[in-house]
Every structure is written in C-alpha cells, then in structure tokens.
Structure 1
Amino acid sequence: MRRVTILWFLVAACLGVALFLVKYEVQDREEKLAALHREILANQEAVHVLEAEWSYLNRPSNLEAMVRRHLDLVPLDTTRLGRIEQLPIRLPSFEEAGTMTAGIREAAAATDDLPAFAPPAPLPRPITISAKVRR
C-alpha cells in the first residue's frame, strides 16, 4: 500500500509540474498573440494613412499641377503625324530569310550573277515643336 501511495504522489507531482509549465507557456503565447494583434492594428492604421495620402496625391487637380510643373507637354497636332510610306520596311523573319537566301542562291547559280539589294531609304526626321502652349 505504501508503494502505491508513493507512486500516486509522484504522478500527482509530475502532473502538477506539467500543469505549471503548460500554464506559463500558455501565458507566454497569449502575450505574443496580443503583441502580434497590436502590430497588425498598427500596420492596418499605417496602410489606411498611406491610402489616404495616395488618394490625396492622385487628385486630378494635383496631378495636373505636377504635370504642368515638371513635364513640358504640348498638344499633339496633325503635322507631327506621319504617313504609312514613312514606316521602315519590315525585315523578313528567320524562316523567311532562310528560304529567301536559298532562292537567291538558286537564282545566282542559274544566272551566275548576284542580285543587287538597295538599303531602305532613310526616314525623315520627326518634326519637333518648341513652342509651349499655355492655357
């Protein structure tokens, strides 16, 4: 009987120590959880402040003032538009170039003469407008 009592006393002591350790572990984790909640709330408030600042800075009147202050934009007029003839000639793709080269070699072998290719004509310089339009 004495051994059983000692055994139950040891089991109760171990359970008491385990309960003590679990209690303080739970308290520690609750403190960490509360700290994380405070940090999340602080971050959410910071995000709200940043969104409000972003909305304030993206007001159309504010953007228009910054564009006028920092960019030298002028309205687009029709003299700055080009014609289709001014576009550069499209270069052949890799596959097309291979078949074209083979066709040129066959034609050159048949006539013993290489065809002459002219480079594309240079493009005209774009028109620049230096006058600023003021409203």
Structure 2
Amino acid sequence: MATKRETALAALHAALQLGLGGLAIGIERGAPVPTEISADGLVILRDGQPGEPEVTMSPLAYHYEHRAEIEIYAQDADDDARATAFDDLVAAVGAVIAANRTLGGAVLWAEAEAPEPQDLPVTGGAAIKAATIAVVLHYSTSDPLV
C-alpha cells in the first residue's frame, strides 16, 4: 500500500510523463544531477519536503502542503535557442499542472510557483539554463506515516 505522500508524488510524475511525453525530453524522478542533457531538455522530479502539517482532531487528520521540486534543464550553444527551449519547458510544466489540479484525485490541489532561472556555464560545452519549480501538493491523511 502506497502512502498518501508517495501517491501524490507518483501522480505528479505520471502527469509530467503524460503531459510532456510528446516532447523529446527526459522525464525522471530522483535522478542524480545530470551530466548530459538531451537536445530538447531534461525534467527531474524531486520528492521535496512535506513540511509540518496542520492537524484537526475530530476526525483526526493531517493536512499537508508538500513542496515537491521539478528541476528543468535546457542546453544549447545558441543563447536564444536555449532560452526558447527553457521557456517552452516551463510553459509545458505549467500547462500539465493547470490541466489537472487534483492529479487524478491524488491530491486536493496542486499549484506551481514561479521558477528562478539561472545560467550554468559548462567547461568545453554548451551552457545550461536551469531552474527549480516548486509544486505545492495539498493533501490530507489520517496518519503521517501512511
């Protein structure tokens, strides 16, 4: 039996795979920091932190605002092409979340926060534009361990 936390994260990962599957990018979960990025980019889902829940007592329930992280990477020698690929990935992730705010019923609500892009130089290679998008997953459970 999967925990509510794992159900929420798996649903987000599945939504990203389904919604971004038409793009020629890698979509991974918990992968190590990339050494190579496909021409169209890379998306990595990190589990993030569930944070401290709000607790209601009758009936007992723990209400989480779990902050998962989606890392986005775009790499190209051309600055404009890199910026466009990055922007396309950010917009695509936003569209995936906006199209299914409950992630098929796995969460009460999913909401993305704005990314903070940064350019990463690569010695002997094309620069990388990267960002982390926090996605707040709202869910409730009767036990913090299930």
Q: Give TM-score scaled by structure 2 length.
A: 0.20
Which structure: larger Rg? 1
Larger relative contact order, structure 1 or 2 (CA cutoff 8 Å, min sep 6): 2
Structure with bigger helix share is: 1
Structure with bigger strand share is: 2
